[in-house]
Chains A and B, each alone.
Chain A
Amino acid sequence: MTPGSTLAIVASSECFHSMMDPTLIAELEQALGPANVFSKPEELLLYVYDGSVEHGRPDCVVFVRTTGDVVAVARFSNQRGVPIVGRGAGTGLSGGALARNGGVQIVFSRMNRILGIDFENQRAVVQPGVVNYELTRAVEHADLYYAPDPSSQKACTIGGNVAENAGGPHTLAYGVTTNHVLGLELVLPDGEVVRIGGKTPDTPGYDLTGLLVGSEGTLALITEITVKLLRKPEAVKTLLAVYDAVDDATETVAEITARGITPAACEMLDGWTLRAVEAYVHAGFPLDSAAVLLIEIEGLREATEAQALAVAEVCRANKAREVRVARDDRERELLWKGRKNAFGAVGRISPSYYVQDGVIPRSKLPATLRRVNEIGTKYGFEIGNIFHAGDGNLHPIILFDPRDHEQFKRAASAAHEIMEWCVSLGGSITGEHGVGMEKSEMMPALFSPADLDAMKRIRDAFNPAGLLNPGKMFPLGKGCGETRVRPLPVGTSAVS
């Protein structure tokens, strides 16, 4: 969230009317059926938002169910010069699914069939609208599961996961989405359908699948995804380590990493955040602690026992006042519910919050949280931390009131300083949420003009007219005035 990003919708009701010519809307209705095309202002309103602080303004929303539908929309866009923006469940945290420049929002949530599960070979083929957790549920009876587990997994779609190369707590041991996707069916912006990769490994030629995963919907629309499934581990041990000082928790993580112990997940919640969460979730987080670590060990019984002992030892050596082991599935699920619903819990105590996604080397974690705390103090915010400590992927949470413009600006500045710190340590501006609209202006901090140019040339090779998800990933280079819009005053009806 930087000065150049789109902020909110103009108070005027005009922008909530579709800017699209009614004959174009009629064309889409003809291709997809009127029930699958929304163009009334009140229908478009939901699609102005996603999980981030950004906003978009679609002129039309269409629902697709088949590859043929997607081809029709792509051809329409190509022939009429209308931008199109893909969207799954709209849970994204970087504005990737928002129609920044208007146009057609192509929603995949109804294209949600699991097309085939190959249990013997541990493969599944799904449509993009399949909800992440639903895939795991569909295969768990066979002791299989789909590993990438974003916190929003009960709502987010696999298509969205592929576009952003989504992570989650268990990526520490198992990798992110790109490590589990083997092939895709694509619809190019001109409507051509191409299959890349496949069920078998090492498809000859360039790793196009590797390029597409994480391309944030700027290269092609994805209509089918082939993934690998993992076998459920024999044993799981979930530990909660409780600390009286944030530093002790971060030093624990640094030492676990340095010792070469790889838990399946290693999450941290600071005291401030866990108190907010506990009031809502009642997961059993100790209210008087400064920080907790939620560490999960998975694998063979023998391996988990040995690892859990080693981890507990490191926790205690770093002054953990208590190390609890979840006694059964119920306790384990409650702890995870606490972690995964944290942002929702925070939402109860603030009109809005801004979550970041920076990454730093694990060895620099203690210094980083101290710096985040300093930055919070400097700008007058209490910054909560609930994040994937095990892979150095921070999620500082800054609470703000979007109606208070000055506070919002301060929040943006604080966020910017945190990102600068991450970059200065050789880290990244985004570990899993994607660049989208939110961090596009910070890309030059990581990449040279030549680097960005190479990525743009790839984008142009797939998306020559620039109509697929425009205005994402790359800096717009615009000044504050051109794209920022005033926040919505309270009590104003957005729709006349």
Chain B
Amino acid sequence: MSVLASAALQQIEKIVASANFVTDPAALAPYEVDGWRPTAVARPYSPEETAEIVRVAAAEKLAVIASGARTKLGIGAPPSQYDLALDLTRLRRVIAYDPADLTLSVEAGIRVADLQKVLGEQGQFLPFASPFAKSCTVGGVLASNATGPLRHSYGTARDFTLGMEFVDGSGTRTKSGGRVVKNVAGMDLHKLMIGSLGTLGVITSANFKTFPLPQASGTFVISYLRLADALALRAALAASVLSPQVLDIVSPDAVPFLDSGSGQLPAERWSVIVAAGGDQRVVERHAADIEQMAAQTGADNFAALEEVARQGLWEAVRELPATLLATSKRVVFWKISSLPGSFAAVVSEVDRIARENSLRAATLIRAAGLVYAALLPTEVDPEDDPATMNRLQRAVAQLFARTADVGARAVIEWCPLELKRRVSVWGPPGEDAELMRRVKKVFDPQNILSPGRFVGGI
């Protein structure tokens, strides 16, 4: 590191005070991103400190990667540079909460679980339901656009985030949107921040609209031998007036990762998992109608889960990526955006590619328009076998191409570092890549924020 760069880090240490500045190698290990270890970690207390730090970093072109609970640092391409980790977990205040208006403003480093407790006391919640739920922070969820099963009815962060404050790549504090549920003043810069992996700015706070917790809910599991019949249930539900909160379909190979032995999901079956919420009679109506649709589509089984089983299953579904990552060091976890009409084709390609490359595939279809697919080595593969990596690499190329052929768009959310060094996790860039580069230049002209990790090499 150059003298000037070291001097900059010393300046940053002064900004946060030594107690919040870490250089000990052992303590830096948790902040590694794809094999890159930063030189230091700074933990600011306020947006002002955050801005000052970024300003100093920009002056010496120190690359900064912000994080909260660090649960999703593995997403994206490896950084091209990484000097300073910016740990936002000390920014965790509830800035303003108006339960009567169902609006909220919080600092980005607050844990989602802690925030939900605060909201729960007022009978409200935020419908994130994304993985790593026990530890993840609001900022991390926004920056990675992490979503979960509730997106079927509540939408994603862009649908309930009202505004944001962030520090751009020059260290300037910037605000977009507002605090009320309806607002079109100015440009929606906060929409750009969502899913940007920290490449446009460091999110310091966000404003949301909150939602009432449903009074009652029910979860139903409907199982099928064939995917086509499970998809027929999805189509029937889409064509009906029912309004499920959640609608996921899991493959037989996904069952071992979702069913902690309590038997809610029959083995060797495709299971459609539907949740309904609201007033008790609404839940009963869903139960009755769905049971009928299940019979009409030739389901093997229809079950309405009891409370404890319901909670267990929902946690498992929500945490699927985390579970897969914990199970195998070589899982390649895909997020494939697809129209419902193409679900069958996408799954068929995934299965074919898995077979051709002697891999396992576990899939979870989210009816809103996503197929999550995990490609894993089969049990018999020794972990260090280089041939496995070659097969995964070949599968990656095939999956990008073949999903595009059926009108879907795939990205790799998680994969082994070795594979990231061989393939682009984002797939081929689209025609919008140049516009994205322009946007990046606007907010981070020095390219110091999370450089190299994003789409198109940004």
Task: Give residues in A with beta carbon < 8 Å to B.
Answer: 118, 120-123, 164-165, 167, 171, 175-176, 178-179, 194-196, 198-208, 210-211, 213-215, 231-234, 254, 257-258, 260-262, 299-303, 305-307, 359-364, 388, 391-393, 426-435, 439, 443, 446-448, 450-452, 454-455, 457-459, 461-462, 473
Contact = CB atoms under 8 A, between A and B. Distances in A.
B454 interface: yes
B172 interface: yes
Interface residues on B, range: 35 or more
Contact of A120 (B279, B340, B442): B340
A176 B335 CA distance: 27
B159 A427 contact: no
A258 B178 contact: no
B315 to A, nearest CB: 23
28 contacts: A123-B339, A167-B182, A179-B155, A195-B430, A196-B432, A202-B145, A204-B430, A205-B454, A205-B456, A206-B195, A206-B439, A207-B194, A214-B187, A231-B239, A231-B240, A260-B123, A262-B212, A299-B243, A300-B241, A301-B285, A306-B282, A361-B103, A426-B179, A429-B185, A431-B183, A434-B184, A446-B185, A457-B442
Nearest to A439: B185
B427 interface: yes
Interface in B147-172: 147, 155-156, 158-159, 168, 172
A210 B191 contact: yes
Contacts of A178: 158, 188, 191
A188 B343 CA distance: 34
Contacts of A446: 178, 185-186
Nearest to B429: A205
B178 A211 contact: no
B369 interface: yes
A206 B444 CA distance: 14
B409 A214 contact: no
B432 A473 contact: no
Nearest to A434: B184
Contacts of A257: 100-102
Contact of B175 (A207, A208, A211, A448): A448
B338 interface: yes
Interface in B188-225: 188-189, 191-192, 194-196, 200, 211-212
B71 interface: no
Given A303-B282, A451-B175, A443 B439 contact: no
Given A194-B431, A359-B183, A203 B102 contact: no
Given A359-B182, A361-B98, A205 B155 contact: no
Nearest to B455: A205
A200 B186 contact: no
A3 B413 CA distance: 52
B98 A363 contact: yes
Contacts of B264: none
Contacts of A215: 187
Contacts of A454: 168, 172, 174, 176, 189, 442-443
A261 B285 CA distance: 20
B232 to A, nearest CB: 12
B238 A451 contact: no
A254 B99 CA distance: 11
A201 B337 contact: yes
B184 A430 contact: yes
Contacts of B241: 231-234, 300
B422 interface: no
B243 A195 contact: no
Contacts of A430: 183-185
B303 interface: no
A213 B189 CA distance: 11
